[in-house]
Chain A
Amino acid sequence: MRRAGFGLRSQVIVLSSFLLLLPWLGYEYVWEMEKYLRKGQEKTLVGTTRALATALHERPKLFDSQASFLEQVVKGRDLYAYNINGPIKLDGQFNEWQLYRPLFWSYDQHYLHPANLDHHGNDLSFSHMVGKFERHLYAVFEVQDDHLFYRPANSLSVTRNDHLKIAFQSEVGELKTYIIAPKNDGWITAYDEMDLRPTPQIQGHFQHTAQGYNIELRLPLTMLGKKLGFAIVDWDGKDQTVKTMSTSNLNDLNQLGSVLVPSPEIERIVKGMGHSGSRIWVVDNHHRVLAQSGDIKHADGVWANSLEDAKQSKSWWESIEHTYLHPLYYLILTRPADEFIDETYDNAALEGPHIRAALSGQAHSHWRLTPDKKAVILSAAYPIWIDDQVMGAVIAEETTNGVRSIRNKALEKLFTVILAVMLIGTLTLFFFATRISSRIRRLRDLAEQAIDPQGRVLGDIESSQAGDEIGDLSRSFANIVGRLGGYTHYLENMSSRLSHELRTPVAVVRSSLESLQLDELNTEQKKYVERASEGVSRLNKIITTMSEATRLEQSIAHADRQRFDLTHVMSGCMQGYQFTYPQQAFTLDICKQSIELDGVPEFIAQLLDKIISNALEFATPETPIAVSLSENDKHALLVISNYGPALPEKIGEHIFDSMVSVRTQAMQKQPHLGLGLYIARLICDFHHGKIMARNTEHGVEMSLTLPKI
């Protein structure tokens, strides 16, 4: 009765899948940790900015006094000298400026003087930016001009042609204007507008293009004060209006736009902070960068240093981790990218909520994702105070790569541990379940083997010594089987015990009757005494039959096996039966060759007696009993069949049990206890054979298989 189903083992494995929650828990935990680390990083970064701001408080010299009084700076009018990272070759080609293209400011009709709203850009417009490299201020102009007028070679005037006008406040505070009017492409000379003296400090290059012309120039920062403006003057001929497009009003010092050159002093202070592992900016209150240091690609935050991989040779375990486990983990985790693209900033107007907050006097930090989503950048800003006024802010930026690396490291370790725990846990559970289920299976097998298909108890279950419930179950099984065995034994011995117990009273009755018979009795008395004697001898017969099985069991226990010829025994017996029951027809089919068996021939004869007498009893009158003996490789086959009533369907193998009889009342001519076939089975078992009964079309067939030697 086995039902294949969801075994213990599978159940335990399913239960152990709860272990899969471990990585999730671990992940949650590490996530929390990361949050704290980020908080810490935020605080640290704010601390960095505060420290730097502390160095900058109350140092008005560092700040552009001009610009700070402006209500606002206007892009285009107020110029900002961007920091240029490399030397610029003055050649009229803008190769070095390609990086800074987005920072070029375009000047169109709005900057035109005299104003003309119908002005077309092709006629005159320009893009322009100023930059600072080392000690020079560089300026570049990409002018669109459909008619390029060079200064004629012999012209004394510098203004009756297309020219560039430069105006700035000198260091001493006066307005200086310069004109650049090239006679041809190439190096340019700037003339002081006042006295038309060439000014060699201002160098540059003029180069005409398809749309107009390009001008690259530079002037030493030492000449420059706080204000600067440029104007491109388009001369298209004597009759044409001279069009001037300027960054601000170059004629009035007060209206001249300011220029901001990143402050070298602040830069020096900030440079010292460049080792802090963050990118640092100092901005003025107009969001313009006064100084910067550090590179965001290397700004991993304070955690980065602790994570430097020791480049020693790895242990075998680490290399296993590295080769097999990490690829697995990094299907889920992401490594912080070393390469990512941060937005390019317009240093003339750094933006961000943290900067706005800092410029309004609040320290603030802020997270953002790089546009390529590869890194998260943490920015913190802290205001710089001068005379209770916010004059600028210090901004520090770091990527969270450090924290993420720490998190990854933690998760790697955690995953390894969890994997190990899961593996060991699952294996342990699996083995445990296997052991339990195998023990239960063994117990089941034992229990099934303890009782044969006919329900007879075959033997005891070996009770286990284990102290757990299964051991307990096995012990109670053993107990049950023991008791059942005892009971079965009691039942099987019932007949012998009964016969033994009955013998004495029967002997009493018998001897008393015999004593009576010795006396002189009248006929009436004789009749009764005879009847009683008859009854007693029948009782005697019953008692004898009852103990036959027991005696057989005993003699089986002490039997000496011998080799004998089954054919010989069979034919002898059959002759005997034919002689004993002359009225019964037998159809014999007994093979001629001898079949050697190991056992006791007398038992076999006894077995035959039982089966034949059984067949005789059930056989329909005038029908033959068929007896056949054949052999195959290993067994002798003996079949005895008779015509007659069929066996009840339900009785099955129980026909061979002790005290089972299926005789109808009508057949009970003789005492019958159902021991005959039980004896047959005992003998069959002794010879390691099998006996079976089955219904045929017209009757019953008993078949025996006995193993040959």
Chain B
Amino acid sequence: MKHIAIVEDETAIRENYSEMLSKQGYQVSGYCDRISAELAFTEKLPDLAIVDIGLGDEIDGGFTLCQTLRGLSKTLPIIFLTARDSEIDTVCGLRMGADDYLTKDISLPHLAARIAALFRRMAALEVPVVAENIINRGPLKIDANRMQVSWHDHTIDLTITEFWMVHALAQRPGHVKSRNDLMSDAKIFVDDSTITSHVKRIRKKFIKVDADFNCIDTIYGMGYRWEHS
């Protein structure tokens, strides 16, 4: 039974999520502040942590906790689930090494899907790569099971949201995906500018590996498409 830790100062939310995840068959433990969470984690690491950034009096308690967790384990999936949707917080959270950054308006099924996906990926990493599950688009390779993307055999480190977006775009190259399409594919509900910044982040990650990367086209007024020249 997978063990999920929820660190959230808002009791109602913590308990709602705990109950919902328990019903899904996970073992859930909730912590209301950083200190108690850290104490528990030093004793035993969970399999996945869902962390709020603002914890009680600590505005950035979640970030600190995330760093502590990353110190304890390199591979432990960490999801930020927060009310803070500013660009800065998002960038910050992802730099801390979180696997995903979600705002609290995400629906429970979406959250559950993400958690499931993360566990699937963890499982997939332990078994050898299965060739059928790999989508090849020229230099782009997508391993849907491991949720890994590589470009010219360089692994691109993507969050789940980003991975699902790339996956949606690259599945049908040349087809325009509107922002709403991307939203539903990535199982998030955000506004257009958030999608835009997600796409920007994805581009940046590819460009880091290949300066000439320009496969994601912006079609103004429509959306994006994967165009492999």
Contact = CB atoms under 8 A, between A and B. Distances in A.
A515 B16 contact: yes
Given A602-B196, A609-B192, A554 B87 contact: yes
Contacts of A104: none
A544 B105 contact: yes
Contact of A500 (B20, B84, B108, B193): B84
Interface secondary structure of A, over-half rule:
helix
B17 interface: yes
B197 interface: yes
B19 interface: yes
A572 B104 contact: no
A503 interface: yes
B112 to A, nearest CB: 10
B221 A554 contact: no
A85 interface: no
A13 to B, nearest CB: 58
Nearest to A506: B105
A475 to B, nearest CB: 33
Contacts of A164: none
A508 B196 CA distance: 28
B105 A540 contact: yes
B74 to A, nearest CB: 29
A503 B221 contact: no
A601 B220 contact: yes
A555 B85 contact: no
A335 interface: no
Interface in B170-229: 189-194, 196-197, 218-222
Interface in A476-521: 500, 503-504, 506-508, 510-512, 514-515, 518
B23 to A, nearest CB: 7
A606 B191 CA distance: 11
Given A515-B16, A606-B193, A574 B221 contact: yes
A577 to B, nearest CB: 6
A248 to B, nearest CB: 138
A103 interface: no
Interface residues of A, number: 41
Contact of B105 (A510, A515, A550): A510
B109 interface: yes
B108 A515 contact: yes
Contacts of B16: 508, 511-512, 514-515
A518 B105 contact: no
B58 interface: no
Given A503-B103, A572-B220, A508 B87 contact: no
B104 A554 contact: no
B87 A518 contact: no
Contacts of A569: 220
B127 interface: no
A579 B222 contact: yes
Interface residues of B, number: 33
Given A500-B83, A507-B104, A573-B221, A551 B194 contact: yes
A547 B86 CA distance: 9
A609 B191 CA distance: 13
Interface in B85-117: 85-88, 103-105, 107-109
A577 B222 CA distance: 8
Interface string A540-554: 100111011011101
B190 A544 contact: yes
Contacts of A504: 10, 13, 83, 104
B208 to A, nearest CB: 15
A512 B12 contact: yes
A255 interface: no
Contacts of B105: 503, 506-507, 510, 540, 543-544
A286 B169 CA distance: 144
B193 A551 contact: yes
Contact of B20 (A508, A518, A540, A548): A518
Contacts of A555: 87, 193, 197
A67 interface: no
A544 B220 contact: no
B218 A602 contact: yes
Nearest to B104: A507
B57 to A, nearest CB: 16
Contacts of A568: 220
B192 to A, nearest CB: 7
Contact of A605 (B10, B19, B84, B220): B220
B87 A507 contact: no
Interface in A528-575: 540, 543-545, 547-548, 550-552, 554-555, 558, 568-570, 572-575
A504 to B, nearest CB: 5
B222 A576 contact: yes
A575 B13 CA distance: 43
Contacts of A90: none
Interface string A566-606: 00111011111101100000000000000000000110011
Output the residue of B189, B192, B193, B222 with the most chain A CB within 10 A: B193
Contact of B221 (A545, A548, A575): A575
A508 B13 contact: yes
Given A512-B16, A515-B16, 16 more contacts: A503-B83, A511-B20, A511-B108, A514-B16, A515-B108, A518-B108, A548-B193, A554-B88, A558-B87, A572-B220, A572-B222, A573-B221, A574-B221, A601-B218, A606-B192, A606-B193
Interface of A: 500, 503-504, 506-508, 510-512, 514-515, 518, 540, 543-545, 547-548, 550-552, 554-555, 558, 568-570, 572-577, 579-580, 601-602, 605-606, 608-609
Interface of B: 10, 12-13, 16-17, 19-20, 23, 83-88, 103-105, 107-109, 189-194, 196-197, 218-222
10 contacts: A506-B105, A507-B105, A551-B86, A554-B86, A555-B87, A575-B221, A575-B222, A576-B219, A606-B193, A608-B221
Pairs A-B, 8 closest by C-beta atoms: A576-B221, A573-B221, A572-B220, A507-B104, A503-B83, A511-B16, A514-B108, A508-B12
